[in-house]
Each structure stands twice: as structure tokens, then as C-alpha cells.
Amino acid sequence: MDKTTPLYARMAEAIVAGDAETAAALARQALDGRLDLQAAIEHGYIPGIRRVGELWESGEYFLPELITSAAAMKAALAVLGPALDATAAAGLSRGRIVIGTIEGDIHDIGKNLVSSMLSANGFDVVDLGADVKIDRFIDAAVETRADLICLSALLTTTMLGQRRVIERLRERGLRDRFKVLVGGAPVSRAWAAEIGADGYGENALAAVTQAAALAAARRTP
């Protein structure tokens, strides 16, 4: 373990405790200390919100705890997000991406993380937010001449919306125009294959790798 481990542990603890103030203060500490922000998210904050998920599943946490922990996660990401985005610099865009969480689903922490990482890694990201209607993804992709559509779903019910976006692309004669990348806690590689998505990413780093491969494939006919 390196010397930043206690900081990561405190970040996780702040999320579990639903302590937004501490979560944000630790994020500022990471910024001031010029720490690797992607690592702070991956090894500090995410293990915290995962633990919250486990406590909810085991019946120790209820909705109010879930909400305060989610708010703490958002407070930390609000501090780190702009810094991550800024590292995207003025470099050449690796491709334009439309991203959002499927209609009926308000979970946006993971999607925001993916969005920030993509933009930090040189993609031009159009973030539609959460609870996004199926056709809205497609209209935005057409309007912005996007290369990729990224679909996040955290509920087993809204996973079906990922399939629906792909079906609608076919119905509108646009399936070949955009690559579709799917993700979210209940989503798997098998699901991505079943619905005919072009890729699946299990976390924000995998999302970047997948998006890079798909964008490159589009550019080399």
C-alpha cells in the first residue's frame, strides 16, 4: 500500500457515512496535493459507494442513507469533475459521444464518472443527463454528428431501454451511423451481445478503452 492509502480509506468512509462536507474536503485535498484523481475516484470514492450498495442489500441501510451517500459522492465528484475535464486540454478530439441514463432511471453517478473520464481522455462529450427518452439519444446523436452513443442503466427495468435504443436506430435507418456502448451495474457483456450493442464497459476506464477502439474503427473504413 502506498502513502495515499489512508486518504483513500477516508474517502470511502465519508461516502459510507453520507458526509458530503468531508467527501468534498478530501477531494480538494487530492486536488491540492496533485494526486492522481482517477485513482482517487477508483480506489477511494467508488469502494465507498459499493459498500453502501452492500449495506443496502443486507438491509442495514435504507433509502435515506442511500440518498445521503449518493449526495456525498456527488459532492466529491463536483470538486473533481472540472479538474478531470480540464485535463482534456485543447488536444484533437478522439470522437464525439452522446451519453445519458435511460428513461425511468435517475441513477447518474456512474454515468457522470464515465462522462468525466471520457472527456478527460480527449473525447468531446454531450451529456444528456439522466432519465433520457429513447428518441432523445438518437436525435442528439444526429444533431451533434456523434460517433458513439453511450447508454447507462442501473435498473434491470431500464436495461430494456438500451435494447430499445438499438431497435429505434434500426427502425430509423440509422443503425450503421453510430456505435453503441452500454454499461451500468446490472449490464454484462452477454447482455450487450444479446441486444446487438457494439461494446460494453464494466467501469469508467473500460468505457474509455472501448470508446477509443470503437471510434478508431469508425475512422478506418
In the numeric block, which cell numbers belong to residue 94? 478522439
Find the Cα–Cα–Cα–Cα dihedral 151, 152, 156, 162, rounded to 10°: 0
Shortest distance (Å) from residue 34 CB to ligand B12:
23
Q: Which is nearer to ligand B12, 32 or 204 (CB)?
A: 204
Nearer to ligand B12, 32 or 138 (CB): 138
Site residues, ligand B12 (CB under 6 A): 46, 49, 52-53, 56-57, 66-67, 70, 104-111, 113-114, 150-152, 154-156, 181-186, 201, 203-204, 207
As given in the structure block, the three cell numbers for residue 65 are 442513507
- Closest to ligand B12 by CB, 26 vs 114, is 114
Helices marked H in the chain — which ranges?
5-17, 20-32, 37-40, 46-57, 63-86, 109-120, 134-143, 156-171, 189-195, 204-219
Provide the grid cell at 35.
Answer: 494526486
Q: How far apart are CA 46 and CA 59, in angstroms?
A: 20
Nearer to ligand B12, 32 or 207 (CB): 207
**Shortest reach from residue 136's CB to ligand B12, in Å:** 16
Integer-rounded Cα Rg, in Å, for the chain is 18
Nearest distance in Å: CB 207, ligand B12 = 4
What's the Cα-to-Cα distance from 103 to each of 5, 53, 125, 172, 180, rounded to whole Å? 38, 22, 19, 19, 16
Nearer to ligand B12, 7 or 99 (CB): 99
Given the complex with ligand B12, which of 7 and 127 has the nearer CB atom?
A: 127
Q: Residue 199's closest CA among 185, 183, 217, 221?
A: 183
CA dist., res. 139 & res. 44, Å (int):
37
